[in-house]
Each structure stands twice: as C-alpha cells, then as structure tokens.
Structure 1
Amino acid sequence: MTILERYCKALYPKWIPTRVVICVMLFINCWTSYMLRLQMPILAVPMIISQSENSTSGACVQDDDSSNRKRRFLDDDNYLYTWITNEKDSIHLKRLSRASDNKALEIEPRAYLFSGEPFDWSPEVRGQLIAAYSYGNVPGNFIGGIMALKLGPKRAVLWTALLAALISLITPLLAHAHWGVLLMSRVIIGFTGGVTFPACHTMVAKWAPPDEKQRFIWSLLGGTFGTMLTYPMIAGIAGDINWEMGWYLPSLLMFVWIGFWALLAYDTPNEHPGISTKEKEYILNSQMGIVRQEKPTLKQTPVKQIFTSIPFWSLIMCHFGNLFLLFFYQNAMMLYLTKALGFKLAKGGAIASLPWAGRMLFGFFFSWAGDTIKKRKLISITALRKGATIFSHLIPGICLIAVGYLGCSFVWANFFLVLALGFNGAASISNLSNNQDLSPNFAGFLYGIMNTIGCTTGMIIPPMVEAIAGRYGNPINKWQILFWIGAAVCILCMLIFILGGSGQVQSWNEIAPAKRTDTEVEAGAETTTPTGTKVQPSDIKT
C-alpha cells in the first residue's frame, strides 16, 4: 500500500459508505466539467458585439418606471447602444448614430487585455466559437471510452481535467491573440470534456449495486447542477465586473476538485484502500454474473457485435434527441433571452438556470422511482426505459413548441421552459441508463460511442441558430422555427427507440477470456475471485 493510499484510508470516514463518496465525486466531476463547457455560450454575449446586430435588441424590454413589460420596435430608433467599457472604474455607454443609408457602424479598435471591452466579431464567428467545444467533444467521447478501458476512468479524468482547467485559466490571453486561437482552445477543452462521461459510466458499472444504479446515474446529473450554478454565477461576474473574470473562477474551482479526485476516486472496489470488507463483498456479490471486475482489453471488446446491434443503434438515436434538447438550451438559450427577448445579462443568466434546477429536481424523483420500480419488478426493464421517454422526450418537445408562441408572456414562457427541461430529468432512467442495461461490462465504451454521435448536435445547433435567427436580429418568429426543429428531433428519436430499443443484457456483454501464453500456463498464473482473493490453479477443484 502506497503512502497516498494509507493517507486515503485514514481520511475516509467510516460512517459513510465508500460508494456514496464515489457517487459524490462523480457528481462533482460532471459539475465542474459543465462549468467549463458553458463558459463560452454565456460569455459570448458580453465579450462579443457584432457590427451587424443591435446590442439592445429584443422584442421585450424592461420598463424601468414600472414592473410591466411592453413590446418595443427598435427599428424606429435613430440611435443604438453598442457596448459597455470599463474606464477608471466607471461604466460609460458609447452612443453611436445609425447611418441613414444602413451602412455598417463605425467600430472602435479591438478590446485591450484586462479592459473588459468586447470584441467586434461577427455572428458567424460567435456561432463557430460556441460550436467549437463540440468539435473537440465529438471525438473526445469516442477516445474517452477507449481511454477508460486502457488507463482506467480515474486517470483518464485526472489528466484531461488538469489540461482543461489550465487552458480555461489562460483563455482571456488566447482570445486577445486571435479568435482562431480561442476557437482551438475551445476544441481542446471540448475534447477533455468528452472523456468525462464515458469514464463516469465505467465507474458506475463497477461501483453501483443493481438496485442502486439509477441513483448512481442521477449523480451524473451533476452537470445539470453545474449548469444551474454556472449561468447566474458567470453572468453575474461578467455583468458586475467584466467578462474576463468569468473565465478565471471556474478554472480555480476545478483545480481544487482535481486534488480531491486524485485522492478519493478509485476505478473499482477491489482497488480502493479505504473500503470496508463488508461493503466490498456487498457490491461484488450483487454484481456477480453481470459485471466482471477485471478490466476488459480492446481485443476483448466485441466491436462488431456492438455496431450491428439494433437495440444499441436505437439507444444512440434516443440519446441524440436528448442531447439535441440539452445543447439547444446550453448553446442558444442565453441568446434567446438576451437578444430575442431583451433580458439584461445578469437577469438572463438567472432565468436560464431555472430549467436546469427543474431538471435536477425531476431527475432525482425519476431516479428514485426507477430504482423502486426495478426493485419491486412492477414492469420489465424494457417497458421502464421506453415509458420513460414519454417524459424525457415527448413532453419536452410539446413544451418547446408552446414556448415559441408565448413571446413576451414571460411567466408562461419560462414556466414551459422549466417544464421542458424538468421532465427531461427522466433521461436518467431512459437513455442515460440503457447502456448499463445492454452491457454493464462495456458501459463506458458504449456511452463513448453514443455520446460521440449525440454530441454532433453541439456542432449543428450554434451555426443553425445564427443562420435562422441571428443574422436577422433574432426576431421571435425565427425562434419559433428553431423551437419546432428542436421538438421534432426529440419526438422522432423517441419513436425510433420505442420501436427498436431493449432493456435486456445483450449476449455480447460477456467478456471473452484473454488468451494466455504457454509460459503463463506452465507457470500456473493465478486467478482472482470476485472479492479479490488470489487463487492458484492447483487450488481449484475440477
């Protein structure tokens, strides 16, 4: 036992089950990962001002003299406010006159480091910067599944998280170099974020007893909590101080978490120095016959069977629809609230976090209900997964359509936004759990594949939003089209899963035994029991 392991064993509280600590670490892992994911979609609002759009645009603006909201058509105004600059600790609004011939506005030179001034980049550049995370996230998910097999989930997360936190910390410097450098940094952070969920699913498969698996999956909604916290935090920092500070705090928080992850997280119960013998045997015995504790190699991975499995491809489509909804919220909702409706940045950030709070709360309820149904065997696992998509996909799709037609009815619009993402919390017992059903032994690898394909939605949505709504000044009627597209994708993917999905363990879940060399056979290589006891071949009765 190493010094670090002895220190870990001494630190571990005896009254808290070790698997609960692992569950908390997975939760915080997803939380911090989402903070870095959401920085660009939020900070794109204060750090980028386009020549082609009105920074105070919005069909609905706040009347400072009353609590009522009214519609205002800004095209009739002869002036527009462009950006806020920090100068001698005072905020000055620069008022520019609109040219009568509708020529491009005259814009001052680019922003200076530590000034908090925005860049004069186009909506197309903004869309690409928001999408850049997904350019790295898509291959990152696939490679992350392989890294979880080769390195183990703990080390895969540790090293990629360190890289992401460092790059995020120096992002303001990179942005001032060139927007192309900023874009490449976001691609790298996206790649590191892609490793997170395949690694987490690998740990869930190894640590979760079958009757507690839904609650372990709920811990992966730590990303939802991170989103709920990040929107108001970063928007408030950017609004009260400047956008540069919005990059620093999440990075520093992630460095703190990395230290705890290095100390407390372990790949399997067998490797953990602080776990009690009683708890280890409980976990391993409950998984016996379903989950193998040894780490499968790439040669033992049934790649052909996985890619020809109809239930798995149905799951991929279901997951695609789920991520289309999530990326739509993450990458487009701040633009909708601030540009289309006219919220100020801080208020927009606070309101944008409400649907994620709903998803967190609903997700906990659905996870508890899923574990209860599974334990009591009220319905089959397949029926549970397919029935859950009604809540995770169908109801959110209907709510999105409603939002598009509510316009400036802020209470009702936000009510349906909260409902849409709230009911999507049922994804914890539909697409987010189904890979564990199909193959617990290769759950992380499966999730890497499905997330690779699903995360392409993050590459599609930002350019789509700018092409349909952004280039026209974000009018509400254009956003109605976007809400219809989001709803259609969600519902169609649900139907595909209902037709072809399954909740049964697939035949290719079993790990093929690795071929041993003649030397190993002659030496009588030892084997390992589920509880970690080493046994010599001569001790095994035939």
Structure 2
Amino acid sequence: MQQRAEITEAEDCLKADEEDAAPLLNQQLLLGKGLCSARYCLALTLHFSLFIAYSLRVNLSLTIIAMTNGTDPGSLSNVSTDLCPDHSHTQPNGSHREFTPEVSTQGIILSAFFYGYIFTQLLGGYWSGMFGGKLLLGSGLLSSSALTLLTPFAAGLGAAYLTGLQALLGMAQGVIFPAQYTLWAKWAPPLERSRLMNFAEAGCTFGTFITFPAAAIICQYLGWPYVFYILGGTGCVWCVFWFLLVYEDPACHPRISAREKEYIVSSLANQVLGNSHGRSLPLLAMMKSLPLWAIAIAYFCNDWLFYMLLTSMPTYMNDVLHFDIRENGLLSALPYIGNWLGTIVSGLLADFLLSKHLFSMTMVRKLFSGLGMLLPAASLVAVSYVGCNYTAAVIFLTLSMTAISMCGAGFNINHMDIAPRYAGFLLGITNTFGTISGIIAPTAVGFLTSQDLLSGWRNVFFVAAALNLFGLLFYVTFGNGTIQDWAREDTALQ
C-alpha cells in the first residue's frame, strides 16, 4: 500500500511539473526561442520528408491523365451524355500516349499502391519499436524514391507492370508513418504533441499542393516521364539530409541544449516509454480495447474520403468539369493548401486548449475529430448538387479538404495519448484500416463512374459522406484520451 501511495504521489508531482512547464513553454514560443529547438528542427525535417513521400505517392493521380490522354472517351460503354460543357482550349501534351488502360483499370492501378502499403503497416510499427524510427523511415523514403525513377519503364511494359511497381512503392512507404510515430513518442512533450505532429504531417498535403501543378507543367512541356525522374531524383538527394540531420531521441542528439533535453525527458517521464517495446506486445489487450477500435474505425471511414479525393480528384476535374491538364493541376492542388494551413492551425489550437485546461484530452480529440469529419461530409454532399457550377465545385472541394485537416488534432494522434509506448505499432494497426479504404475507394470510384459519370460521382460523394458520419459516431461514443492500463510498463511486463 505504501509503495502504491508513493507511485501515485510521484505521478501527481509529474502532472504538476507538466502544468508548471506550460507557462514557461508558452513564454519560450512567444519569444521565438522554442522554434529553434531540436524538437522543432525535427518537425521541420519530417515536414519536408513527408512532403517528398506524398509527392512520390500522388504524382500518378495526375500523371495518369497525361499517360492515357490518347484513349477515346467514346469507347466507354453507356457513358452519360449529360456532362459539363468543355470550357478548356489548351490541349494536353501529346507525347508518350502509348499507355491507354480503360477507366476501371486506372482505378485498379491507383489502388495498387495500397495493396503494398497495407502489407508493411504492422511490420513497420513493430520494426520501428525494435530498431528505431530514423533508420526505418529513411530506408522507406529512399526505396520509394528509387522505385519512382523506374515508373516510366514499368509503364512502357504495360498496365500489369505498372500495377506491380505501385504495389512495391506502397510497401516501401508503409513503414514511414509508423516510424514517424515512434520518433515522436521520444521527442514530443504532451503539451506540444498536437502542434509538432500536425506541423510534420502538414508536409503531406503541402507535397500534394506542390506536386499537382508542378506535375501538370512538367507533363505539358517535358512529357510525363520527367515527373517521375525529377521527383524520384529529388527524393534520393533528400534522404542524405535525413540521415545526417535526424537523431533517434534527445539523448543521441549532439547539439541539443541541456535545458531542452531536461524539459523533454521530464515531460515524458510519466509516459513509461522505455527505449522501445522490444519483442513483447500485449496483443490480446489491444484487441479488446474499445478506444483503439474507435481510432481504427475512424481511420477507415475518414481515410475513405481522404484517399478518394487524393487519388480521384484530378479524374473528376478532367472527366466531369473538363479542365485541361494545367487547370486540373492547379485546381486539384488548391484544396491541399487549405488542408496544409488547417493542419498547422488546428494543432496550435488543440495545444492551446490543453495548456489552458479548457478541455480534457479526451474532449479535445473528440471535438477536432467531430469538426474534421462532419464538415467534409457536408461539403461533399454539396458538391454532388452543384452540377457544372465550376466555382462552387472547387469551393466545396476546398472546404472539404481544409476541414478534414482538423482530424490531425483529433483521432489521428490519439495513439500517443492512449499508449505512447506502442504508438508506432498502434499506428500500424489503425493505418491498416485506413489503407483498406485506400484500396477500395479508388477502385469503387472507377467502377461507379465507368457507366454514368454524373450519377456515378454523386454516388461516390454520398458513400464517402455516409461513412464519415458513421466513423464519427463510433469515435465519439468509444474514444478516449488517457493512457490505457495495458499500455503501462508494469502491466506490459507481467
């Protein structure tokens, strides 16, 4: 009993120290000192690393339009003639038209990434917990870059080879996000967790924002193969900086200040992290955990909407709204600048609410998840009714992608709250659910729209909205923001 009382007293002291650190932390940030710290440098490095990762992931979504622009739309059976009028006058680049699969086959190719991606999610979480996040993330990024360089060669061989290469690319990228969570479990103080992780993950949407218009310009003036050569080469070069700049934890960093190291270590003292989870995992307890299931279900439903827009928005812009490839690249990218800004702002706001003790951790996660799932669903329903109103369609798509960014301060980082010791592995579990939706969604879009474009796209938007609402209800009911008993060190060792 005395030992239990001492443990409880120690935990109370750590919580008090964490609360005392909040004003000091806010003061440091106001003076601008915190932004030059080692942990913020890690956030910046991860921001650009995820920028590269998503550039390699999404380039095919737009480039496949240039690769297949020789396909005769009239060859598709039963396509509705009730389409928006063509308002573009610029013709896409006419070179390299030998790759011409049908619409449904394009959906399968775009889904192939996720077949490989799902294979390495759990492995990535397990390996990063054993060997560290730095090596695994850097290796995944380097492999992705090398495979991207081979994409034109695979496309020249045929659709089957391109599908296989996309699956390999997915396998390489499957370890990146679990490895990132393993790093943040050692670097992110609880009161800074939302802002640091959201800023890092904002690189995903910023990469999409830059890649779409850049790929469109490259396709038009150089030809689509150069998209893969330029982005793949850039990724290979960036990996050199990754291995030079990143350190596994504060203790390994040679240039971190003693004050910052002490602050990070003390703020994470009650997180019972250890150096890694080793080979031991409480799998049965994880399977029974409703808070973990809540995150997983929310991931599946929300990622359906996100990946549907990520992979298929350029196709919607091309097939329904008839934007030429330059307009397509610019307008497809526009929603992602809103997402980029929204991700950063929501992370800052979530940490502000926590530091001021205005809401509990659980309430903050549910609040941001609610906004990030309800508003995009409403925006997609609106898109289905605007018809050929180009301005309204782009506005609602932009609102949808901007609002979905709020999930970054919601269930997206909830793993760190309920089980920081196993954060990378849990991300592997929940991202597996999200990846399943990434597999199904682009293929579903291809089949739903292959017969009738307008009604098909309306069904696509309705399905995504309905799934988002279901995921939100499940998460609000069962989600939690406190460390679970099975995630504590003494329980894990039993």
* TM-score normalised according to structure 1 size: 0.80
Using the TM superposition, give the Cα deviation of residue 61 of structure 1 relative to its aligned residue in structure 2, in angstroms.
Answer: 1.6
User: What is the CA deviation profile of residues 18-74 of structure 1, one whole-angstrom value per residue up to 9, with x for unaligned ones?
Assistant: 111111111112111101110221111111247562599952321659xxxxxxxxx
Say whether 1:272 aligns with 2:292: no
Partner of 2:67: 47
Partner of 1:508: 486
Aligned in 2, Cα 1:169/1:380: closer, same or farther, shift over 3 Å?
same
Partner of 2:94: 85
Structure 1 Cα separation of the partners of residues 445 and 48 of structure 2: 31
Aligned counterpart for 1:194 among listed residues 160, 166, 174: 174
Partner of 1:341: 321
Superposition map of 1:23-34 within 5 A: 23-34=43-54
Say whether 1:498 aligns with 2:483: no
Partner of 1:137: 117
CA contact (8 A) 1:50 1:122 kept: no
Superposition map of 1:84-103 within 5 A: 85-86=94-95
Using the TM superposition, give the Cα deviation of residue 501 of structure 1 relative to its aligned residue in structure 2, in angstroms.
Answer: 0.8
Partner of 1:365: 345
Equivalent AA in structure 2 for residue 232 of structure 1? P
Using the TM superposition, give the Cα deviation of residue 400 of structure 1 relative to its aligned residue in structure 2, in angstroms.
Answer: 0.2
Aligned counterpart for 1:227 among listed residues 208, 228, 233: 208
User: What is the CA deviation profile of residues 195-224 of structure 1, one whole-angstrom value per residue up to 9, with x for unaligned ones?
Assistant: 111111111111011111111121212101
User: What is the CA deviation profile of residues 97-136 of structure 1, one whole-angstrom value per residue up to 9, with x for unaligned ones?
Assistant: xxxxxxxxxxxxxxxxxxx224132223211110110001
- 2:385 alignment partner, SS class: helix
Partner of 1:17: 37
- 1:220 alignment partner, SS class: helix
Aligned in 2, Cα 1:230/1:84: closer, same or farther, shift over 3 Å?
closer
CA contact (8 A) 1:268 1:293 kept: no
Aligned in 2, Cα 1:51/1:413: closer, same or farther, shift over 3 Å?
closer
Equivalent AA in structure 1 for residue 48 of structure 2? I
Partner of 2:147: 167
Structure 1 Cα separation of the partners of residues 226 and 118 of structure 2: 28
Aligned counterpart for 1:61 among listed residues 83, 86, 92: 86
* TM-score normalised according to structure 2 size: 0.88
Greater strand fraction, Structure 1 or Structure 2: 1
Unaligned 5+ runs, structure 1: 1-12, 66-80, 87-115, 516-542
Aligned in 2, Cα 1:203/1:123: closer, same or farther, shift over 3 Å?
same
Superposition map of 1:324-339 within 5 A: 324-339=304-319
Equivalent AA in structure 2 for residue 31 of structure 1? F
Aligned in 2, Cα 1:271/1:393: closer, same or farther, shift over 3 Å?
same
Using the TM superposition, give the Cα deviation of residue 177 of structure 1 relative to its aligned residue in structure 2, in angstroms.
Answer: 2.0
Equivalent AA in structure 2 for residue 231 of structure 1? F
Structure 2 Cα separation of the partners of residues 63 and 128 of structure 1: 28
Among all aligned residue pairs of Structure 1 and Structure 2, give the percentage whose two residues are the same amino acid: 28
Equivalent AA in structure 2 for residue 227 of structure 1? T
Using the TM superposition, give the Cα deviation of residue 416 of structure 1 relative to its aligned residue in structure 2, in angstroms.
Answer: 1.0
- 2:254 alignment partner, SS class: coil
Equivalent AA in structure 2 for residue 60 of structure 1? P
Partner of 1:255: 236
Structure 2 Cα separation of the partners of residues 403 and 244 of structure 1: 33
Aligned in 2, Cα 1:15/1:239: closer, same or farther, shift over 3 Å?
closer
- 1:85 alignment partner, SS class: coil
Equivalent AA in structure 2 for residue 297 of structure 1? G
Structure 1 Cα separation of the partners of residues 34 and 438 of structure 2: 43
CA contact (8 A) 1:48 1:126 kept: no
Which contiguous aligned blocks of 4+ residues in structure 1 show a shift greater than 4 angstroms? Answer: 49-52, 54-58, 512-515
Using the TM superposition, give the Cα deviation of residue 289 of structure 1 relative to its aligned residue in structure 2, in angstroms.
Answer: 1.4
Say whether 1:304 aligns with 2:284: yes
CA contact (8 A) 1:59 1:476 kept: no
Using the TM superposition, give the Cα deviation of residue 232 of structure 1 relative to its aligned residue in structure 2, in angstroms.
Answer: 0.7
Aligned in 2, Cα 1:440/1:370: closer, same or farther, shift over 3 Å?
same
Partner of 1:289: 270
Stretch moving more, 44-53 or 332-341: 44-53
Partner of 1:446: 426
Unaligned 5+ runs, structure 2: 1-32
Using the TM superposition, give the Cα deviation of residue 84 of structure 1 relative to its aligned residue in structure 2, in angstroms.
Answer: 5.3
Using the TM superposition, give the Cα deviation of residue 150 of structure 1 relative to its aligned residue in structure 2, in angstroms.
Answer: 2.2
CA contact (8 A) 1:35 1:227 kept: yes
Using the TM superposition, give the Cα deviation of residue 339 of structure 1 relative to its aligned residue in structure 2, in angstroms.
Answer: 0.9
Larger RCO (CA within 8 A; separation ≥ 6): 2
Structure 2 Cα separation of the partners of residues 63 and 419 of structure 1: 24
Structure 2 Cα separation of the partners of residues 405 and 134 of structure 1: 30
Stretch moving more, 175-184 or 339-348: 175-184
Stretch moving more, 47-56 or 217-226: 47-56
Using the TM superposition, give the Cα deviation of residue 308 of structure 1 relative to its aligned residue in structure 2, in angstroms.
Answer: 1.1
CA contact (8 A) 1:205 1:291 kept: no
Superposition map of 1:380-419 within 5 A: 380-419=360-399
CA contact (8 A) 2:369 2:406 kept: yes
Structure 2 Cα separation of the partners of residues 15 and 488 of structure 1: 40
Aligned in 2, Cα 1:269/1:293: closer, same or farther, shift over 3 Å?
farther
Equivalences, count: 455
Equivalent AA in structure 2 for residue 215 of structure 1? R
Structure 2 Cα separation of the partners of residues 359 and 206 of structure 1: 27
- 2:335 alignment partner, SS class: helix
- 1:154 alignment partner, SS class: helix
Equivalent AA in structure 1 for residue 354 of structure 2? K
Structure 2 Cα separation of the partners of residues 55 and 276 of structure 1: 65
Equivalent AA in structure 2 for residue 198 of structure 1? P
User: What is the CA deviation profile of residues 477-515 of structure 1, one whole-angstrom value per residue up to 9, with x for unaligned ones?
Assistant: 221111101100111100010111111111111135998
User: What is the CA deviation profile of residues 256-315 of structure 1, one whole-angstrom value per residue up to 9, with x for unaligned ones?
Assistant: 21011010111111122222222111110111111424112122x211111110111011
Structure 2 Cα separation of the partners of residues 428 and 447 of structure 1: 13
Aligned in 2, Cα 1:211/1:168: closer, same or farther, shift over 3 Å?
same
Say whether 1:478 aligns with 2:459: no
CA contact (8 A) 2:152 2:228 kept: yes
Aligned in 2, Cα 1:54/1:289: closer, same or farther, shift over 3 Å?
same
Equivalent AA in structure 1 for residue 458 of structure 2? Q
Structure 2 Cα separation of the partners of residues 14 and 507 of structure 1: 33
User: Larger Rg: 1 or 2?
Assistant: 1
User: What is the CA deviation profile of residues 455-477 of structure 1, one whole-angstrom value per residue up to 9, with x for unaligned ones?
Assistant: 111110122111111x22x6222
CA contact (8 A) 2:295 2:412 kept: no
Aligned in 2, Cα 1:259/1:513: closer, same or farther, shift over 3 Å?
farther
Using the TM superposition, give the Cα deviation of residue 235 of structure 1 relative to its aligned residue in structure 2, in angstroms.
Answer: 1.6
CA contact (8 A) 1:207 1:283 kept: yes
Partner of 1:322: 302
CA contact (8 A) 1:400 1:483 kept: yes
Greater helix fraction, Structure 1 or Structure 2: 2
- 1:406 alignment partner, SS class: coil
Structure 1 Cα separation of the partners of residues 414 and 118 of structure 2: 20
- 1:342 alignment partner, SS class: coil
CA contact (8 A) 1:46 1:118 kept: no
Equivalent AA in structure 1 for residue 467 of structure 2? V
